[in-house]
């Protein structure tokens, strides 16, 4: 069964604001798309030269997206959130061809986020935390932090984007992490919990390791988006691979049990031609369905003809959110 979405938007659906006063001035990244009360929403991460913060936007009647609202800002008095607060997933229904409706736990929406300890672009070993909200705008942290030093050797360099879900009677947290080498590898693993408060890694080794020399995921197997393909009777993990040459592309793997994964042979989203919105990277998948047809949101990266300079920070690339669809 194919998970192909060949019909791409020619333009970014959400672009950086280029407003030096806003959290998303230099880049927007890491989309997570969902449905709540019949309305399509998206969380995303904004980059302002200091660190990540999280925004929320909504699909409009004409298919465009609203200006992102800052909903999970950095917090100076919280050490792990002093510079970064990047929500990357919310608890939602698992169906691959579902509308991605959000689920609640004790009247709250539940999200996962990651944060880096220092100012700058993904600077220092990141941690993963949990937050909850009754309205998607005001969030409070709860539960533990998942820290790299508590895990296996493959994640000692820091934790990245996570995906939370409920399956098989418990909560699962899939995430990618990096090794400590200067030129590091990123791979994907998981932890489980019965109560969202106590988490245990399912393996000391990654569940989805990086590929061998020359593979599309030679260096990175990152940013999991895990959904249930009920028709095929299996789970599918959308993720991105990075290989020598520097291009990131969205790929997939399948599993019968969430523990044992087989990589697909198809590149779902390759980089686009020169001049396209995704000429450099097409990565960080967020998959959802509309009327049963897949929509694959992702972070698209292209080159700027003239670098953007704001608040003393130079941004040579244009990084925003694009979408590819199964149907035109």
Query: Could you read off the pLDDT of 193-252 as tens digits, one per residue?
Result: 999 999 999 999 999 999 999 999 999 999 999 999 999 999 999 999 999 988 999 999
* CA-wise closest residue to 84 among 125, 133, 118, 131: 118
Q: What is the DSSP string of 172-215?
A: EEEEEEE-SSSS--EEEEEEEESSSSS-EES-SS-SB----TT-
The verdict on residue 265 lying in a domain is yes
**Would you place residue 273 in the very low, low, confident or very high pLDDT band (cuts 50, 70, 90)?**
very high
Per-residue pLDDT averaged across 96-120, rounded? 97
Per-residue pLDDT averaged across 142-167, rounded? 98
The verdict on residue 159 lying in a domain is yes
- Cα 37 from chain centre: 23
Structural domain span for residue 76: 7-325
Per-residue pLDDT averaged across 36-55, rounded? 98
The verdict on residue 115 lying in a domain is yes
Q: What integer pLDDT is reported at residue 1 of this predicted model? A: 67
The answer on pLDDT for 138 being more than 90 is yes
The CATH number given to whatever domain includes residue 224 is 2.115.10.20
* CA-wise closest residue to 120 among 318, 313, 316, 317: 313
The verdict on residue 172 lying in a domain is yes
CA distance 90 to 288: 13
**Would you place residue 2 in the very low, low, confident or very high pLDDT band (cuts 50, 70, 90)?**
confident
CA distance 117 to 283: 24
Per-residue pLDDT averaged across 85-107, rounded? 98
Per-residue pLDDT averaged across 295-319, rounded? 97
φ, ψ at 79 (rounded to 5°): -50, -45
Report the mean per-residue pLDDT for the chain.
Answer: 97
Q: Which two tokens stand for residue 59?
A: 């699909």
Task: Provide the domain count of the chain.
Answer: 1
Verdict on whether the full-model pTM lies above 0.85: yes
The verdict on residue 256 lying in a domain is yes
The answer on pLDDT for 108 being more than 80 is yes
The verdict on residue 266 lying in a domain is yes
Per-residue pLDDT averaged across 1-9, rounded? 92
CA separation (Å) from 3 to 73, 265, 293? Answer: 35, 11, 10
The verdict on residue 51 lying in a domain is yes
The verdict on residue 2 lying in a domain is no
CA distance 134 to 156: 34
């Amino acid at each position: 069964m194919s998970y192909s979405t060949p019909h791409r938007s020619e333009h970014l659906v959400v672009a950086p604001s280029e407003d030096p006063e806003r959290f998303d001035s230099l880049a927007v990244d890491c989309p997570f798309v969902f449905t709540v009360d019949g309305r399509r929403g998206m969380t995303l991460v904004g980059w302002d030269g200091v660190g990540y913060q999280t925004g929320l936007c909504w699909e409009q009647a004409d298919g465009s997206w609203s200006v992102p609202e800052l909903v999970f800002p950095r917090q100076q008095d919280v050490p792990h959130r002093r510079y970064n607060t990047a929500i990357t997933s919310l608890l939602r229904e698992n169906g691959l061809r579902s509308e991605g409706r959000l689920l609640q736990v004790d009247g709250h929406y539940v999200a996962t986020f990651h944060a880096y300890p220092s100012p700058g672009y993904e600077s220092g070993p990141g941690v993963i935390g949990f937050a909850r909200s009754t309205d998607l705008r005001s969030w409070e942290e709860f539960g533990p932090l998942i820290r790299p030093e508590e895990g296996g050797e493959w994640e000692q360099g820091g934790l990245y984007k996570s995906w939370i879900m409920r399956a098989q009677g418990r909560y699962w947290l899939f995430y990618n992490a990096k090794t400590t080498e200067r030129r590091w590898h990123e791979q994907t693993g998981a932890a489980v919990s019965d109560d969202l408060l106590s988490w245990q890694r399912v393996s000391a080794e990654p569940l989805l390791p990086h590929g061998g020399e020359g593979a599309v995921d030679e260096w990175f197997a990152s940013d999991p988006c895990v959904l249930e393909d009920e028709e095929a009777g299996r789970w599918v993990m959308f993720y991105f691979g990075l290989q020598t040459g520097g291009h990131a592309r969205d790929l997939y793997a399948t599993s019968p049990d969430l523990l044992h994964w087989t990589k697909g042979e198809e590149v779902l989203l390759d980089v686009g031609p020169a001049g396209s919105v995704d000429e450099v990277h097409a990565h960080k998948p967020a998959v959802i369905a509309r009327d049963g047809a897949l929509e694959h949101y992702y972070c698209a990266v292209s080159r700027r003809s003239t670098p953007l300079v704001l608040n003393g920070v130079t941004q040579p690339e244009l990084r925003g959110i694009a979408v590819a669809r199964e149907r035109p």
